[in-house]
Structure 1
Amino acid sequence: MSERGQGQGLGLAARELAGRRRSAPGHERTSDVTRTRGWLVAAATGALGLLAALLIDLRGGAELGVDRAISPAHRDAGLGCASCHGEGRPRPALEGGVDPRSACVGCHDDQRSARAAHARLLAAGALTCVDCHGAHETRGGVRFEPGEPALRWRGGQQGHLDQLAALRWTGRETSDVALVEVGGCGRCHEPARPDDPMAHCVLQTGVQEPGAPVDPRSPVVCFDEHQRLLDAAGSERAALWELAREAAAAEAPGLDEATPERGGGARAWWWLGLSLACAGVGLAGARLRARRRAQAERQRSEAPGEQAAAGPVLRPAEHRRLPTIDATTCIGCNACVDACPYDVLELRAYVAVLARPDDCCGLSLCEQRCPNGSLVIQEGERLPELPRIDDDLQALGAPGVHLAGDITGLPLIRNAINQGAHAVGAIADALASERPRAALRRGATLDLDLVIVGAGPAGISAALEAKRRGLRYRVLEQASAAESVRSFPRGKLVFDQPLGMPMVGELWLRESTKEELLGKWLRIIHAEGLDIRERTRVIACERVVGGPPRGHLLIRAEALGSAEGEGALELRCARVLLCCGRRGTPRRLDAALPVADEMVDHLHYSLADARSFAGRRVLVVGLGDVAMEAAIALANQPGTAVAVSYRGADFKRGKRRNVDALRRLSAAGRLELLWSTELAAIEPGRVRLRGPDGSVERPVDSVFVLIGNLPPSGLLDTFGVELS
């Protein structure tokens, strides 16, 4: 080959590989991850906010642990939790042998009580310092500073006693006087009793009847507990105690005695508030960033260059696209085999091989997952009998008739959805540009802008796009909505990539069951209120005034199940979109085959729910994927005897998982494989089969004939669609 020819070949290969990923992606975006990403950011920023609050507290001199009220004198002395709880860390009382009640004598003198009764209790260990001067409790005190108003403190709060400005402390140094409350003495004394020794020590405010209960928060003003009045450092200490009595009776502004101690509650609210604020900022930032990223991706996807490079596949290839493996470079990593959901590839002698070419749908996941480029999708033989369509999915030679979905020869649910939306978009643009359309609508000549035939994935997508575009449309379905999915066996797995539905958004569909997929379709139909007329079969199409674009189409249909002549329906429309699929109708038994009248109701051409056949004897005719999946589902029902009749001598096609499952069931005796047999007659309670060794009989209760479907060639001829 010349250098010029080689260059052209390389350029063609580069264009073919444009938009393809040559290696496995690092990650795939899914709905369950994108929904929680903002909350992950919020959690991280909230944790940072909590850490910031902790650092702010530590820099302000706070210590870790519970922030309990500490008297001003103790704060001035630099005391913290570790000062009383030992070993440099806060610990509860009496834990590990460390008693914080003994820490007082480290700073204070060993001041014994001047009262004989208290002295005896102290000597016996029944009374300690903290019994009267409770640590961290609401009992407070008074601070006197020379020339300043007295400062009353209690429970972590404090306030100046300006009403006692005339009684200022004239001493030389700042002094503190601790106040004991009645609640601290209530264990031994009854201050409400006049004969109690401490009754005269309680500060009485207002008029109080004899025997009335005393407020436990009332201060006790007997300051000579530890020293007698005349021995307490002379007249200066006596004057200090007198001022303390006046301060105890006064009410300090801002000193709310009902407020609990300053401590864990206030700090907890501060920490929680800052953490929630940071979390809110993080969540808002993540949401804003995600919105901007989605907008940028949407703009990028709408750009002409991007659509040309990586847009959805809309037209089927004229040739079959099959994977080609270079055995000299294949490393046998099994990546392509695992990526293919249809079991097209197998690993033999450590090299990937094309095992089932007929099952390949051209998804190209295998090519994307190959790590070194040993597998490449290439074009093979030409595909027969495909409808001839243009880029707008309009049938060549049949103006006004568009096709979408499996009927175009392009498989996969994702492609059907893309085709349905694309075809309706092209129809809407064409109708908007046609001048006669406005006149026709004014004259009410047309019933609808668009008739959609078929309510499968392509039809539902087309209906959503038509509603979004404001078109008058109607969907005609000869069975029920999503009938192709309904006909799947119960629990059948459906494989595809994420689906982008018009007006709905992206649906994640990696490996869903029949029931999950059907539920998604039905929820979309009911939520959007789509105009779908079920049990209505299209039987003819006529072109009026030459058909589109100058004329229109007349669609004739009939309602199934109605009396003859009563269910006729005629619709005049500007365009028709065929989304009826290629399955057509099930291939039935030869009319010459004898079938007993008693067995007509027990002859089935599809399986919807295998559970309804539990405990019966069943024959399955055929060995395609549909037949194998039905046989597997029936064999898994309790008490069901299943036989499979196939005219071939061995498996010729089918997914690997179905073939393996059928082999296991046959080896376990739960299913019988009747090779090289054909159905000869269906008699009451039994069937006769022709085999190489003569006639074979098997008792049966039901017969499933799953031998494929007839393509809808008659419907295509009605609409004038030509095949290639």
Structure 2
Amino acid sequence: MHQYDLIIIGGGPCGLAMAIEASRNGLDYLILEKGNLTESIRKYPRRMRFFSTAENIEIGGIPFAISEVKANRNEALQYYRKVAGYYDLQFKLFVTVDKVEKQPDGGFITYAADGTTFRSSKVVLATGYFDVPRKLDIPGERLPHVSHYYDEPFKYSFTDVVLVGGSNSAVEAALELYRHDARVTIVHKGADFRTKVKYWLVPDIKNRVKEGKINTRFDSVVQAIEPGRMQIANTHSGEMEWIKADFVFLLVGYLPDEHLLARCGVELDPVSKVPTYDTDTFETNVPGLYLCGTVLAGVHTEKVFIENGRDHAAAIADHLAGKKVRKVKELIDRI
């Protein structure tokens, strides 16, 4: 079996940044990605625009040149694909990793779901968080008209659509669906939209709500989903209500894959799900196994993004090469 210096699990922006740093340090590496490159971005809403400016999501020192300040989904997909080609990054696509095992000799074997194995001296997990949606664990959550991912508006014109959540995903989807003739209701457990909603969306969504063009049910939680309708309860009065719902989007966030982390031997805080890692080198409690990007955020995925997660790669590469580790600036708030 070929012995790599480094296996990188995850081919998103942070995984690509890690591969670039590995290449610069002369490491024999391989990216394993369960989908195609930047698969999570491919699954974003088709007309989504990034919060971060283009230069803040660049990797490898390659300029992200676009006409607007903030990139959209398609521009990001093109950019990261071109960067991967420019650096001739080495990867195997559509390989789902099942677990990583530390070996007696100090190296690792990475096991894929199809039975393939990969041997390496070190491993970096850069698997992000978009593959694991937060579940409400309510009756009807798995019905065919219910989804944890919003795609595009045209399928839903002239139907009743309920969006559960009060952050960027729900707000952006609500505005787009309303402008494509869907009858939109937002259900959110809070008293108002979350404060981290993109600032340019706030006046738009609030004005549409004020005009009655987008309905809201604040201070409400979902009790059950049935074909064509949803039951909600007011968190203060306990009053129940059925609302029309031809389609339901549960946009309440996503989480790193804690089960994969556990199968790799990484210890997690039982409440925050934040893994154990060195904040300078990003090495976990398993010597030689590192975390890069949002995978290290636990339930606090809003604290790590491409713009600071990409810098984890340089720190990890420094540690692997025995160099002085560059300090990573952690960005806590985006607004």
- On whether the aligned pair clears a TM of 0.5, the verdict is yes
| Amino acid paired to 1:506 | P
| Amino acid paired to 2:120 | C
Distance 1:711 1:461 in 2: 19
1:672 corresponds in structure 2 to 215
More strand by share: 2
Kindly report which structure 2 residues correspond to 1:107-506, keeping only aligned pairs within 5 A, or say none.
Answer: 446-467=2-23, 469-494=25-50, 495-496=52-53, 498=55, 501-502=59-60, 505-506=62-63
Per-residue CA deviation, residues 103-138 of structure 1 (Å, 9 max, x unaligned), is xxxxxxxxxxxxxxxxxxxxxxxxxxxxxxxxxxxx
Correspondent of 1:711 among 246, 256, 278: 256
Q: Is 1:720 the equivalent of 2:266?
A: yes
| Deviation (angstroms), 1:641 | 0.8
Distance 1:620 1:661 in 2: 17
Kindly report which structure 2 residues correspond to 1:5-24, keeping only aligned pairs within 5 A, or say none.
Answer: none
Would you say the 8 A contact 2:166–2:192 is kept in 1? no
| Deviation (angstroms), 1:706 | 1.1
Name segments (4+ residues, structure 1) moved above 6 Å.
Answer: none
Percentage of matched positions with identical amino acids:
26
1:336 corresponds in structure 2 to none
Distance 2:216 2:178 in 1: 12
Would you say the 8 A contact 2:232–2:240 is kept in 1? yes
| Deviation (angstroms), 1:578 | 1.7
2:98 corresponds in structure 1 to 539
Q: Is 1:524 the equivalent of 2:70?
A: no
1:589 corresponds in structure 2 to 136
Q: Is 1:576 the equivalent of 2:123?
A: yes
Would you say the 8 A contact 1:677–1:690 is kept in 2? yes
**Local SS of the residue matching 1:460:** helix
**Local SS of the residue matching 2:208:** helix
The higher relative CO (CA closer than 8 Å, separation ≥ 6) is in 2
Would you say the 8 A contact 2:33–2:95 is kept in 1? yes
| Amino acid paired to 1:615 | F
Would you say the 8 A contact 2:232–2:241 is kept in 1? yes
1:514 corresponds in structure 2 to 73
**Local SS of the residue matching 1:505:** coil
Per-residue CA deviation, residues 662-710 of structure 1 (Å, 9 max, x unaligned), is 1122123321001222112211211121223622122222110011223
CA RMSD of aligned residues (A): 2.6
Correspondent of 2:187 among 645, 648, 655: 645
Aligned residue-pair number: 262
More helix by share: 1
Would you say the 8 A contact 2:13–2:59 is kept in 1? no
Would you say the 8 A contact 1:489–1:629 is kept in 2? no
Per-residue CA deviation, residues 164-187 of structure 1 (Å, 9 max, x unaligned), is xxxxxxxxxxxxxxxxxxxxxxxx
| Amino acid paired to 2:260 | L
Per-residue CA deviation, residues 2-48 of structure 1 (Å, 9 max, x unaligned), is xxxxxxxxxxxxxxxxxxxxxxxxxxxxxxxxxxxxxxxxxxxxxxx
Distance 2:249 2:240 in 1: 20
| Deviation (angstroms), 1:621 | 0.7
User: Structure 2: where are the runs of 5+ without partners?
Assistant: 268-274, 278-335
1:75 corresponds in structure 2 to none
2:282 corresponds in structure 1 to none
Would you say the 8 A contact 1:487–1:608 is kept in 2? yes
Would you say the 8 A contact 1:490–1:610 is kept in 2? no
**Local SS of the residue matching 1:580:** coil
Q: 1:693 to 1:588 in 2, by over 3 A?
A: closer
Would you say the 8 A contact 1:620–1:704 is kept in 2? yes
Distance 2:88 2:224 in 1: 48
2:166 corresponds in structure 1 to 623
**Local SS of the residue matching 2:75:** helix
1:636 corresponds in structure 2 to 179
Per-residue CA deviation, residues 392-436 of structure 1 (Å, 9 max, x unaligned), is xxxxxxxxxxxxxxxxxxxxxxxxxxxxxxxxxxxxxxxxxxxxx
Distance 1:678 1:609 in 2: 25
TM-score (structure 2 length as normaliser): 0.69
Q: Is 1:695 the equivalent of 2:240?
A: yes
User: Structure 1: where are the runs of 5+ without partners?
Assistant: 1-444, 559-566
Would you say the 8 A contact 1:477–1:534 is kept in 2? yes
Q: 1:556 to 1:693 in 2, by over 3 A?
A: closer
Distance 1:529 1:602 in 2: 41
